[in-house]
Amino acid sequence: MKTQFTPGPWRTTGLNVRAGDALICYAMNHHANAETPEHEKMANARLISLAPQMLLALQRLTHPMADDEDLDYAREVIAKAKGLQ
């Protein structure tokens, strides 16, 4: 059975992760509670929103013809996930 997912780009709007008008995830789900710091909730939302780009980066890196451009793309996605971009 092939698993389907909502294609990117995904984006954060506050603690929500959206694709177009569709709500993908509310980052304050069962992994967070009222005591979870706001910066941690936002970091989780940022990481979740980058899932489609992370998948693409992995696919590019595992391609037999992967090159420096593919590695640069992966580094860019990692920086976004860490909140450095």
pTM for the complete prediction? Answer: 0.77
Q: Considering Cα of 72, then 74, then 80, then 83, what sign does the dihedral take?
A: negative
Q: Where are the domains of the chain?
A: 1-49, 50-85
What is the model's pLDDT at position 29? 59
pLDDT tens digit sequence for 28-62: 655 666 777 888 888 888 888 999 999 999 999 99
Q: Average pLDDT over the chain, rounded to whole?
A: 85
In the predicted model, is pLDDT for residue 82 greater than 70? Answer: yes
What is the model's pLDDT at position 30? 53
